[in-house]
Amino acid sequence: MHVSVPDNVLWRCLSGLCILTLRKPAGYYLLEDTAAEIWQAIAKGQQPDDIVASLCGRYDASPDTVRRDVNDLTEALGEQGLLAVQPECSKGSVEGAGHARQSGAILERESAEIMGIMTKMLVPLQGFLELTRRCNEKCVHCYLQDDPGDIGEGDELTLQRLKTLIAEMASAGCMELSISGGEPGIRADFDQVVYTAASHGIKVNLYTNGTAFSKQQVRDMAPLLSEVKVSLYGSDWRSHEAVTGVPGSFAATMRFLEWAKEASLEATIQFIAMRDNCSELEAVFRLANAVGFRWHVGAVIEPTLRGSLLPLKVRMSDAQALKFCQDAKRGAYGPEMAAGCRPDDKQETTLAIPCAAGFRMFSIRPDGVVYPCVRLPQEVGNVLTDSFETTWTRSPRMLDYRRQIRQGIPRWECPRCQLWRQCPLYCPGAALIETGDLWKAPASRCWFAGILKETW
């Protein structure tokens, strides 16, 4: 039997656990106890026979029992694409592989259990990196539209600091990094940032309008990226550019999507439904299907990070939002969108930690300021003055934020609301921006929760 770890498998071992994922869009997998030990041995190049001999020498177990467990685990991992197994070894017992999964050796597909474990362990698994606040579009709904420009090009983290920062993130346990802006493609060193993250075993997602990239750049970065999320606001130039405010931006974004398709790049079209473009929903849905990309609709328009209500002027009317939800419910935009508009129907009215921001997730501004989340503008550290590890584990402001979350739950308004069991939308960042309090209900989310209740 010969097994090896494929190049597209990313993994970290932390405190006796191993967490695994694939570079392309996929969930997370967790190995515990002996399963984690076996994985680490395989990752070091050891083969099953050597692993069996090593385990038999340390544990009071028969070689047959250990061999069966090792074979079961390798088969289960092989079925998920997490191990490359020689063809003659891939015909092992399906029953055994099922036993390995049922015994808890592998927890699949980004389950709440895995994410709960990472949150409890304070593993900074998923990060958000704003490379720049500069942008080549002027979108009417943008949450940065009132940004005063005090984070200019000269204030952005240098490439050298970004490289060391990414290494620090990986060492601390980060496995997924979403890169955005502004428009991240504006930075001349963007390609090097992506390469650095990928070379440290980090899954990279890109949020972009696609207009700043060349065809060759798309080809080069395709193997390094997990997914690209591309902003598209209409099916023609009139509807799209009414949002972006930039002539020619529709053609540039469509070229990017064409290049992404040619490069076999995983992409999701990000459509924000607004008062003046919601009539484009079906047309953009057909467009996404025609090019073979997934799509996602954002229906909740929120204030800017500084609290301006200006973006809410372009929000759908109540009637438009209700029609959108009703159409989604009947499947007009595909099964994923129908599921995404379904209320949560919560069975519990309290949560231990209502949001993973600052516990499993983090965000870093272009100037090095650290937030718990890109939409939760409470400064908890700065990677220009401290290492990422120091910021995450020992920053007084980060520790104080976590204390606020743990101690503030009794003040949380949302579980006492009549919409709570149907509302999928609580966000402490939205609450902080709109009310100045992490625990008050944000009106922009409550509005859409009411639409969902009326729909269902």
pLDDT computed for residue 371 by the predictor: 98
Taking the C-alpha atoms of residue 321 and residue 327, their distance in angstroms, rounded to an integer, is 10
Convert the pLDDT of each residue in 375-386 to its tens digit.
999 999 999 999
Nearest Cα neighbor of 82 from 121, 129, 38 is 38
| Range with the largest mean pLDDT of 53-62, 70-79, 250-259 | 250-259
Per-residue pLDDT for 101 more than 60?
no
pLDDT computed for residue 88 by the predictor: 53
Per-residue pLDDT for 368 more than 70?
yes
Q: What angle do CA 114, 115, 121 make, to 5 degrees?
A: 95
pLDDT computed for residue 346 by the predictor: 57
Per-residue pLDDT for 1 more than 90?
no
pLDDT band for 92, please (50, 70, 90 cuts): very low
Taking a C-beta distance cutoff of 8 angstroms, is the pair 137, 181 a contact? Answer: no
Please state the rounded mean pLDDT for residues 78-84.
91
Convert the pLDDT of each residue in 321-360 to its tens digit.
999 999 999 988 888 777 667 766 554 544 567 889 999 9
Per-residue pLDDT for 86 more than 90?
no
Convert the pLDDT of each residue in 264-320 to its tens digit.
999 999 999 999 999 999 999 999 999 899 999 999 999 999 999 999 999 999 999
pLDDT computed for residue 147 by the predictor: 81
pLDDT computed for residue 91 by the predictor: 36
pLDDT computed for residue 351 by the predictor: 55
pLDDT computed for residue 207 by the predictor: 98
Taking the C-alpha atoms of residue 454 and residue 456, their distance in angstroms, rounded to an integer, is 6
pTM of the model: 0.91
**Residues ≥6 apart with Cβ < 8 Å to 93:** 71, 72, 75
Q: To 10 degrees, the CA torsion angle through 274, 283, 26, 336?
A: 80
Q: Which residue has the tokens 């385990």?
A: 55
